[in-house]
A and B are shown apart, each in its own frame.
Chain A
């Protein structure tokens, strides 16, 4: 896609300028302008709170801008909103599917709403069902579809009026890579038919696939154009450091302190470094040499470019990890699953899963929606009782020593489960207390978190009113005040901007150095690269368990010489599907 240069002299399908929208004191969009062309996939990219949804809603006539000119399919949303509505398809983050209606009934409803004439309906339905591969499921209730299938049905319903402009607001959120690939395929078909498709996302690897990208941050446009062009500016500034994977986190920490390094992350067993423009690399080379490693140039990614555009990633040591103290663990394994099985009625959600996680390891649990990874996760946190098998955390069996096991684990989810009615301070006090901290120790730990994460000025605010980054810090504080030897992270950074994510992982990497064991689930393949080992689940079973590099290596073919983590994910699942199909045929 990136090679295709599209020259489009026609009037753009969507055009806006001087666009401003404020909500109270928050500036959601600040003097934004842009053009989205027909027959092209445009990505609106940025972290949560960047203004993506606001822009989408303005284009969909659902919000009135404070200021600015907008034209959608040559109509003015303010004066000709009916014409605009007839010419757009809009899929919000939570598409309005009626969960108690079947797939077909949902489609019929939207066909009526979009005034598709009854005689055309059948043809259109057949085409959409074929297109979305939902034909076998027409009788199923929408509420019973998987996350990916729901998104496809939503897309089918949004396409009902044969729109000229299709607005998709974060269609990839909570959707596993396999379903996401399906969505991409469909959208590519649509653009080749001449539709203008706008896809908003906070995943930067998705942005890389768009023909054109509008990069938003804090309501401002940072970049507008082909993603490759931005990535090209980093040519020759990206390196991989290979050598001693055991100490790669320390090496990264040291590298980030160097003034010549703009950004650095763990990538499998390597370290990915972006140097500052025209920087003196002597210090970095010395460091690499002292760690018995080598530095090889590598291709830049869109995310590298984005972080560079924002002035580079964060650096520094984790004060949190420094204060944490070394972890003492009861027994050898931090987490242990032995023949772990969970059956719900007829359905086996987790099927005989075995793995052990060593102290100080970052262990990733990946898999498509419904693969059984959250059921497994829940059993390890004590939220579900296993049907059979053993689940142990920090040496304690969750079945007969649940309290001890639970006291030894910390849990943090991106859907930050904080009490919005309580203030920040009260949330900290509750978390400390409920993990058994008391008196002076409790006060010390709370004060420590306030100091490390600079929460002082937010103490009396509601967690809801906090900027995303601070919300995440608070959630992490709440999970760590009792200094658990094992930390569970449930999709910890989805929707978070790359800078905040790096900050978060600096703390996590620091904790790992102290001997904390990390269990992480994620749909975000970038994050999977930070893991020491990754377990892939599919159909309730463990289908692969290895280091990210080995997993990638295992799917190398002649066509795919340099697979990404996402490629590995898709390929591993496809292999299982093929095997099952074969077994069925035989």
Chain B
């Protein structure tokens, strides 16, 4: 077996074409399922040169993750693959299990989506990084305990973990999410592989952390010449990091181009549609041209004053303050956008307004009802005026009831409509969210994600509520579906004129819908104001950082933003 050394050193880019690190030719993958064979990857071919970052983009079901897994020979038993996946001279599809183990870690390594599950909680991170070293005996001899530790410290240093000598003995739970992802990258780098396959490496992370990890990956390429195959659905990430882009759709490569060319002039219809659907910060803002807050002449539906929400701590530990002295109002007809990273308390506020969480301090007045003295029995009559759209459309429908029965539920509980009248009303509702009335008879699993979320919207609006709470309604959807759902939301809101609390981590999405935006950080409302002013000219230091770290789907613009972001971080 040839030991590849040519990829290890930094290969100069742009010179006489070197041998590719990865060469995929005519890859086909078929899965056996209960419903018969499914062809997940139809015919995929591309190559990755040393030191190159290639992004595979596509929506769910496009076969991008399956392709990535095939690169490491990680396909499940039920899959059958043909074609060639050549990594430094070895075809991963045909080699023996033993050889495959040799290739993994040494020639190619993987970075997973969810860093908190990719690390084993009962071992120190140093041990986990050294595991690969022990498995491979680089240079033909066993790696001693002390040496493995030294190499692990070195790897942690490479990925920018502070005090690696000390942190090498830490357990995964002692690191933050972003640091955990750095540790996963360090483990991937331990044997200095020529190629890293990163499957959605930043999807589970907050935007500010995402920017750091993207910076780290770019830095690794520049310093060690590591090639990266980046699997992602986020066009901003692609614009930020990738040299070349492979667009996949239903198991086929639709288009392959350099990053600049693809974003500037997409050739194929599918790519054009995909790029057009990506929300772009600062375009299509709901508050364009506003100079003062709208709807202030209307009734105030929700008024929070110094609102506090605590989660009780376990025995001996203090309570956790999820929301800390937050004040805001939502007037009738207004769309209030609440943005923040995970753990900022945005969902807690939304749930408190719907009576799903108890408030513990300050005051939260919802439609004239003080939530501090919440009693389910007295609040229930008000529920008909509050609609709720949940994040995950797949989980928010009872799998045993048909869509029609789910949508009809609020009508049956709160009105005296008879059976046929309910059926008619449900059909009207479904049509108002652009679903065929016949879908009432279908079961939730028979609808796609976007269709389910529309049905969810229909249920939320069944009683013509005064207030709609939408908790990350589009974050589980593909970008082209998201665009349609957002458009629908906007139309219906304009038509019915309900007030809405729109909760999202995605600034660009919030900007499309909300006239007034509040930014939460660690339970505190750090800034609120007119949408385009908060996005365009943030005042608070955190908001500035948040907005600067958001990658935009345009390589040239993103390069400038990146530089500005670096300057902002340096100035801190």
Q: Do A and B come together as binding partners?
A: no
